[in-house]
Structure 1
Amino acid sequence: MTAPPKMTPMLRQYLEIKEDYPNEILFYRMGDFYEMFFEDAEVASKILGITLTSRNNKADTARIPMCGVPYHAAQNYLAKLVKAGERVAICEQTEDPSQAKGIVRREVIRVVTPGVTTDDQILEDNENCYVCALSRSSGESTPQWGFSFLDLSTGEFLAGEESDGALVPEQIIDHLTRMRPAELLVNEGQQDELAKLIEAATLHLPQLCITPRSADLFHVKEANHDLVDHFKVINLDGFGCGSMRQGIVAAGVLLDYARETQKSDIGHIEKLIPLNRDSVLLIDDASRRNLELTRTIIGNSREGSLLSVLDKTRTPMGGRLLQNYLLQP
């Protein structure tokens, strides 16, 4: 029978922190390195192409897999993991080791995901990096669907909803393929109901990261209160979103997610913009692809598309605006 691994104070602290972040790869700061252990180390070593070692002696039967990356080069490795669809929790030393009594205190200071990041090495200069939340009402003959998009790097925050019966799933897919979010938040209590839509979304967007969120977050009253409190307003009517019940739910879920992952001020998110299909020319996904508006059919490359020919903008902001004009004229 294999003996359990020896639990040092450091490993106990690691496991206590990891318990709060079961779905993330934990970057655990130790001196000049971020270390990863157990399954995190096995997954990360394959993606990053680094050596998987063990913290134990070779004679130990219960070996603990581990790997690490240098602190000064962490951004390069972080970008590889996130682009591979992984979520990474950054755990830093929060006290001076020379002043610590016992094990150095550590805390997760930020969670980086495919859709929630501000790192330059992950972001594309001329493209938005959206995270999307999807909400669907329950117990109604004609369900209301809400959706919201957030680009954390720019603070752009959009919300909308659809209720056109059987056409709604197609309309939601149209929004997703046009906005191309890197991550989609869904109600974990509705995953079975949303299975077909999620399957269609990942078929169109193979790199889309699906993140289930607690069903307790998908309530209009709490979401509305959170948004009103964040924007320091009496209601959301001034943004043109006051009547969007499910759109408000989706936006509230996104705001909560941004706050949870960043663990810092998100005051640069200053307004909520209604996303209304009636205000733009609708170009379906097949037409966008065949016209090669922003991506080529062969290679899915920006270079060679209509956007690359027209783009004479001088700033990343201008490039993103031009792309939005092409997709939503």
Structure 2
Amino acid sequence: MAEQAVSPMMQQYFEIKKQHPNEILFYRVGDFYEMFYDDALTASRELELTLTGKNCGKEERAPMCGVPFHSYETYVARLIAKGYKVAICEQMEDPALAKGLVKRDIIRVVTPGTVIESSMLAEDKNNYLCSVYTKRTRGRWKAGICFADISTGEAYATELNAEKIGGAIITELCRYMPSEILICPAMLDFKDVTAYIKQHTNALVELREDACFKDSVMEATMANQFGPDWRDALGYEKDALVPYAVAAMINYLHETQKHGVERIKTVQNYADAQYMRLSPVTRANLELTETMRGREKRGTLLWVLDKTETSMGKRLLRSWIEQPLVDAEAINRRLSAVQALYTANMARADLKEALSHVFDIERLTTRILYGSATPREVKALGDTCAMLPEVRSQAAACGAPLLKDLADQIDPLEDILNKITTALVDDPPATLKDGGAIRAGYNSEVDELRDIMHGGKGYLSNLEAKYREETGIPKLKIGYNHVFG
């Protein structure tokens, strides 16, 4: 007996799923993201969803479950926290206008290290994706390691040339505590590192093939991302291993994010000797950022010191505590700035007040670049731009050389502020779909469409006159109501 034909939609589903066998596929159908077969069984178990079935042309119904598309982030966040990866398959055309089957495609793969949604991220800590490349040179192991926070565009990298390379890699992982780690096949031989990752972190490990670290792949990737003179711009020698780690990460981001990878504009290189080396046991006993018993912030050094006003400040303070400086000059510059702020009571209070109105510029700009920002998030960026001149003047007034240098680096972003205030209404809607985000007078076409949508009398009278002339019906009337428009 011939096998029954699968429905066209399920054929499309199988073709897309074949390209992403290791991810849970969120397949957009109308107002829902639906999951089928093994993905449905997994998602229903992990998310406590009701498991149903769907007729797909076969004798047995396909196991199915789904989540509303407008609240999918909550469900994705729960799956990511449990170590899964999620492929978002979106409808690429309006179903009402589509001829036949609606075109669908993967717009993004969400993994623990590539999250940019504010609802899935802790505002007070970075979310790092790590890439490690190891190679044996002249009888000795070396490593290049890179950490990037996709939500802020920060990237840090260092070369490791220690006698015990495994211990050196663990030390760097302790500094940044990445949520996802890309490794080369040679890393599997470092049992101490793999054991540490498995026992002491919640990081998802992604094994990349040797082909991802080939010379030709690395050279092409680095040139495309940072320009043809990337070695001079980033300061890498010919035999450096960091470029291989960076290139593998960039390619992974292109595979999963599809666009927005240009957010990573540079890589900050640091020497592992630049910061104090603290073993995992030492960090735990010092209770720098979490307590030993409850693994919480309250009662830690970070909890005592954290009086920051912004999310960016919270993340920076955490990184300073996790990576203590060892250079006396750099330490004294920082202490002088603290002393100046402590002494200047009025300036400090004014600076604190100004900073309380500053939103998370780093993550806001990333979401805008990825095209996922809401109108209110764009407005928040504009409100932040309006406060930058005040922050700049108050920081400079405190007198410390470090604060003055930092103040001089602040760009008031007047052009961005002007664009946002000109285009957006004062109280924009929560989502773009709600409408009414664009200010009247900014765009003539939008103004015309809005007038039509609200039954503009001028438009209706012109349309009425046009149809009277075309039809020859002198008493033809065109009306408007809130049901039919």
1:20 and 2:19 are equivalent in the alignment: yes
Deviation at 1:86, TM superposition (A): 0.7
The alignment status of 1:262 with 2:280, answered yes or no, reads no
d(CA) in 2 for partners of 1:277 and 1:142? Answer: 18
Deviations along 1:117-175, one digit per CA (max 9) or x if unpaired, are: 1011111101000010111125752122111111000111111121223x110110111
In the TM superposition, what are the counterparts of 1:171-320 in structure 2 within 5 Å? 171-187=168-184, 189-190=185-186, 192-205=188-201, 207-242=202-237, 245-320=240-315
Name the structure 2 match of 1:38.
37
Match for residue 46 of structure 2? 47
Instruction: Rate the CA distance shift 1:30–1:73 in 2: closer, same or farther, 3 A.
Output: same
Q: CA deviation at 1:220?
A: 3.8
Which digits, 9 at most, give the CA deviation of each residue in 1:259-299, with x for residues without a partner? 22111132221211113111112222211111100111012
Q: Residue 312 and residue 220 in structure 1: after superposition, are their counterparts in 2 closer, same or farther (change >3 A)?
A: farther
- TM-score with structure 1 setting the length: 0.92
For 1:112, the aligned partner's letter is V
- In structure 2, C-alpha distance between the alignment counterparts of 1:153 and 1:108, rounded to whole Å: 20
Distance in 1 between residues matched to 2:302 and 2:239, nearest whole Å: 33
Match of 1:135 among 133, 157, 163: 133
Amino acid at match of 2:18: E
Larger % of strand: which?
1
Partner Cα distance (1:317, 1:46) in 2: 36
Cα deviation digits, residues 53-106 of structure 1 (max 9, x gap): 11139xx86331111001111111111111111100100000121222221100
Q: Aligned pair count?
A: 323
Q: Once the 2 structures are TM-superposed, how far is the Cα of residue 107 of structure 1 from its aligned partner?
A: 0.5
**Relative to structure 1, is the Cα distance of residues 191 and 159 closer, same or farther in structure 2, using a 3 angstrom cutoff?**
closer
1:234-278 CA distances to partner (integer Å, 9 max, x unpaired)?
Answer: 132333334562211001111111222111132221211113111
The TM-score normalised by the length of structure 2 is: 0.63
Shift of 1:194: 4.2
Higher RCO structure, 1 or 2 (CA under 8 Å, sep 6+): 1
In the alignment, which of 78, 88, 91 is matched to residue 89 of structure 2? Answer: 91
Determine if the alignment matches structure 1 residue 120 to structure 2 residue 118. Answer: yes
The runs of 5 or more residues in structure 1 that have no matched partner are none
1:80 aligns with 2:75: no
C-alpha distance in structure 2 between counterparts of 1:170 and 1:325, whole Å: 22
Segments ≥4 residues shifted beyond 4 Å: 3-6
Using the TM superposition, give the Cα deviation of residue 232 of structure 1 relative to its aligned residue in structure 2, in angstroms: 2.4
Q: Structure 2: 5+ residue runs without aligned partners?
A: 325-485
Contact in 2 for aligned 1:155/1:268 (Cα 8 Å): yes
User: Which structure is larger by alpha-carbon Rg, 1 or 2?
Assistant: 2
Secondary structure of 2:193's match? helix
- Secondary structure in 2 matching 1:267: helix
Aligned residue for 1:47, secondary structure, equals helix
Q: Secondary structure at the match of 1:236?
A: helix
Q: CA–CA distance in 1 between the matches of 2:71 and 2:5?
A: 30
Could you tell me how far apart the structure 1 residues matched to 2:63 and 2:187 are?
Answer: 33
